[in-house]
Structure 1
Amino acid sequence: MPDQREIAVLRGVQETIGKPAVVKVARGMSFFGEHSAGWLAVGAVGALVDKERRKDWLLACGGVFAAHAASVVVKRVVKRTRPDDESVQVLVGTPSRLSFPSAHATSTTAAAVLFGGLTGRRLSPVLVPPMLLSRMVLGVHYPSDVVAGSVLGAAIGGLVRRKLNGRRGSRGQQSRRGD
């Protein structure tokens, strides 16, 4: 049985910001983040444009993919089903009925940490909250799903970023700040 507090939060998110324009953007974000494809495309562009650090961009893409894969494995172990309450509207299709953790939250957070490190920009505050909220606006994840996904993505992104920083340090380059 789902936690009624999480259902109440989902209902509140949908009632407060689930307007047609927001739902449209959230659906676009859902499509972009599906199977981490959008983030992998961004990383591929980075590898094409930044020839000097092409291997770093490709390693970052590997980290994003690994984060996504880890979330899928956790989903299959936990087997928590998606929200199913008459008061919550499901506004997008999903590839599975499994909910915990959110793979969109996982891959987005990993991408923000890894690509932020490569660009020297703090990307997490800009990219992560909208993706997490979008999953709730669409009614496909509980709040704990998106928080857990983000934590998992940050952990994997952080591990891979340390490897990237070590690679740059061994080449005599300074590490850039960012997340």
Structure 2
Amino acid sequence: MPDSKEIAVLASVQDAIAKPAVIKVARGMSHFGEHSLGWLAIGAVGAAVDRERRKDWLVAAGAVFAAHAASVVVKRVVKRTRPDHETVQVHVGTPSKLSFPSAHATSTTAAAVVYGALTGKRLSPMLVPPMLLSRMVLGVHYPSDVVAGSVLGAAIGGIARRKLKGRKGRHGQHSGRSN
């Protein structure tokens, strides 16, 4: 059970930024990240348009899927329930009542790491903080849920990034700069 400090932080985030326009954007992000489908679609598009590195894009998308799956397994082991406190408002539906770790945070961080490696862009600073905050704005995750999800996604994404770098060495393909 999260402590009162986590509930206080969550309520503070909502008080500070959970305005109608922010909630609308956060809901859009939630739908994009649901079951990591938006990130998987980006991987599929990458594989379709970057034919020289199609296998790399498929490995990267596979890492995003693996990150999401890992978060679901951890949720089922930990069994922490989502926020349910009078100071926290829930602004979106969820497919389960389990919160730890945030699957959105996990898949988004993994996507930022592996797709950043393929594009040569530092995607994590642009993608990860907004997704983590959105989960708290929507009232569906505690701060430790999103941090743990991001750490799990970074670990899985990092493993896949190393695999992509190994492929570059074997096949002479350019995988871009690390994230």
| Equivalent in the alignment of 2:140 | 140
Matches within 5 A, 1:76-91: 76-91=76-91
Contact 1:43 1:58 in 2 (8 A): yes
Contact 1:63 1:110 in 2 (8 A): yes
- Which SS does the other structure have where 1:104 is aligned? helix
| Equivalent in the alignment of 1:157 | 157
| Equivalent in the alignment of 1:124 | 124
**Per-residue deviation at 1:2?**
3.0
TM-score (structure 2 length as normaliser): 0.98
What's the C-alpha RMSD, in Å, of the aligned pairs?
Answer: 0.8
CA offset digits 1:100-159 (Å, max 9, x no partner): 000000000000000000000000000000000000000000000000000000000000
Contact 1:101 1:149 in 2 (8 A): yes
- Which SS does the other structure have where 1:80 is aligned? coil
User: In 2, distance between residues paired with 1:54 and 1:171?
Assistant: 13
Identity of aligned residues (%): 80
Matched, 1:73 2:76: no
Matches within 5 A, 1:1-179: 1-179=1-179
One-letter code aligned to 2:10 = L
Contact 2:109 2:150 in 1 (8 A): yes
- Which SS does the other structure have where 1:176 is aligned? coil
Contact 2:100 2:148 in 1 (8 A): yes
One-letter code aligned to 2:159 = L
**Per-residue deviation at 1:174?**
4.5
Structure 1 unpaired stretches of 5+: none
**Deviation >3 Å, runs of 4+:** none
- Equivalenced residue count is 179
CA offset digits 1:75-106 (Å, max 9, x no partner): 00000000000110011000000000000000
- Which SS does the other structure have where 1:169 is aligned? helix
User: In 1, distance between residues paired with 2:155 and 2:73?
Assistant: 15
**Per-residue deviation at 1:175?**
4.5
Contact 2:53 2:173 in 1 (8 A): no
**Per-residue deviation at 1:171?**
1.1
TM-score (structure 1 length as normaliser): 0.98
User: In 2, distance between residues paired with 1:175 and 1:140?
Assistant: 35
